[in-house]
Amino acid sequence: MHELGISRNIVAIVGEAAAGRRVRRVTLEIGKLSGVMPDALAFSFDLVAQGTPLEGAALEIRQIEGRARCAACGAEFAAPSFLTPCACGSRRLAHLAGEELNIKSMELED
Amino acid sequence: MCHVCGCDSHDTHEHVHADGTRHRHAHAGEHVHLEARILAKNDGLAARNRAWLGERKVVALNLMGAPGCGKTSLLERSIRDLRGSAPVLVLEGDQATANDAERVRAAGAAVVQINTGTGCHLDASMVAKGLVELDPPAGALVVIENVGNLVCPALFDLGETRRVVVLSVTEGDDKPLKYPHMFRAADLVILSKTDLLPHVEFDPQRAARHARELNPAVEVIELSARSGAGLPAWYAWLQKDSLTAVSGPSSVQSTPAGSKLSLA
């Protein structure tokens, strides 16, 4: 349940940026290979947001698909898991996308 | 600013588009781009820990693995075997109790217990406080025994020099595939309790192969803290130039300057 710790970080970062104003919506970018489950994150976010300017804010999670580049042949391909090999058979890969844990934006009330 | 259309209106307003269509919408609140990394604070503190360790010329290992995989037993045996060479100090992470800290202290190491309460992993801020309290001397080896858990600790950089994952032969040899994040982030995988191999269906070669499918560069050592088999390879790994020399890169982040660890 590291999603609880992740939620605390989100509430702290957004709360600081909001500088006392109420937050209506938070948009996140979560990679599908990040090890963070969107459902668990949404659940723990609501708990952690209670009593803060983020209480009741909508959480929008944009999931990012995994992508990798093969170190052997240079091909770029969709990698739904860390175990997805390149079509050439190589497993020496650089993961280009899918591990994101980012806060994109927030929407504030007037 | 209205984030629907980008205009400066703060009320419900109407637009005429270039093609002549009109529409009305409510002002949707101020939209602020943040572009922040969620773990930026932890990663910043981890970088500070890494610099602090580098200045002190201290090597730190983040020792991870499932509950009961033999992390503490390996630590006790290593502390006893390495006595008289480099000082070994321990940061002991558990949700509750100081039981492991007492075991490690009895083996002869200075130890600071970190109880995480409901927390399922250590983070860089807990380790920063623990390191100050532990106050390791130059040339020391600090072992940070993480909370027994194969999931959550993988995400949190502590500022360690290297990551070591312990997998016991009483677990499944497919565990690297089930917990890819943990094994992907490891510098070394220790297959522990090999004295029990005659009694269990665990294929060390298969476990090592699965770990390398995720992490081609990972090193694998088989050992038994009980029988002592394989321990020389573990002690040799601790003395490797790449670990103890000035600029050995960790798979997690680059390592700042550190002196050689003298485990003579």
Q: What's the pLDDT tens digit per position in B28-68?
A: 689 999 999 999 999 999 999 999 999 999 999 999 999 99
pLDDT at B92: 94
Angle ∠(B90,B93,B97) on CA atoms, nearest 5: 110
pLDDT at B6: 56
Average pLDDT of span B67-76:
96
pLDDT-derived band of residue A107, with 50, 70 and 90 as boundaries? very high
Listed by start position, the domains of chain B span 40-244
pLDDT-derived band of residue B116, with 50, 70 and 90 as boundaries? confident
What is the pTM for the complete model shown? 0.84
Six-digit token string for A100: 């994101």
Q: Which residues in chain B are closer than 8 Å to A101, comparing Cβ atoms?
A: 37-39
pLDDT at A91: 87
pLDDT at B20: 63
Strand order in the sheet with B110-115: B110-115, B88-94, B141-145, B59-65, B162-168, B188-192, B219-222
Question: pLDDT tens digits for B220-238?
Answer: 999 999 999 999 999 999 9
Q: Is the pLDDT of residue B246 over 70?
A: no
Question: pLDDT tens digits for A71-94?
Answer: 999 999 999 999 999 999 998 899
CB contact under 8 A, B36 and A103: yes
Six-digit token string for B246: 């000035």
Domain count, chain A: 1
CB contact under 8 A, A108 and B32: yes
CB contact under 8 A, B32 and A107: yes
List the single residue in A34, A35, A109 with the smallest CB-CB distance to B29: A109
Chain B touched by A101 (CB under 8 Å) = yes
CB contact under 8 A, A110 and B10: yes
CB contact under 8 A, A6 and B39: yes
Average pLDDT of span B168-191:
95
| Pairing, β A101-108 against β B30-37 | antiparallel
pLDDT at A73: 97
Q: Which helix (H) or strand (E) holds B251?
A: none
pLDDT at B9: 55
pLDDT at B16: 64
Six-digit token string for B121: 């992993």
Q: How far is CA A51 from CA A4, A24, A103, A108, B181, in A?
A: 16, 14, 20, 16, 33
Q: Which residues in chain A are closer than 8 Å to B116, comparing Cβ atoms?
A: none
| Pairing, β B88-94 against β B141-145 | parallel
DSSP H stretches of helix in B6-150: 40-56, 71-81, 99-107, 124-134
Q: Is the pLDDT of residue B3 over 70?
A: no
Q: Is the pLDDT of residue B89 over 60?
A: yes
Q: Which range among A28-32, B97-101, B166-170, B250-254 shows the weakest confidence by mean pLDDT?
A: B250-254
Q: How far is CA B160 from CA B46, B51, B62, B153, B218, in A?
A: 8, 10, 6, 12, 16
List the single residue in A13, A35, A91 with the smallest CB-CB distance to B155: A35
CB contact under 8 A, A2 and B152: yes
pLDDT at B131: 97
Chain B touched by A105 (CB under 8 Å) = yes
Q: How close A92 gets to chain B, by Cα (Å)?
A: 7
Average pLDDT of span B22-27:
54
CATH code of residue A53: 3.30.2320.80
CB contact under 8 A, A9 and B39: yes
pLDDT at B98: 87
pLDDT at B259: 35
- Homologous superfamily (CATH) of B40-244 is P-loop containing nucleotide triphosphate hydrolases (3.40.50.300)
Q: Which helix (H) or strand (E) holds A106?
A: strand A101-108
Expressed as residue numbers, the domain containing A99 is 2-108
List the single residue in A83, A92, A105 with the smallest CB-CB distance to B33: A105
Chain A interface, mutation test: which of B10, B11, B34, B158, most A Cβ atoms within 10 Å?
A: B34
Residue A11 CB contacts under 8 Å (≥ 6 apart), including other chains: A45, A48, A49, A52, A54
- Residue A16 and residue B100: Cα distance in Å, rounded? 38
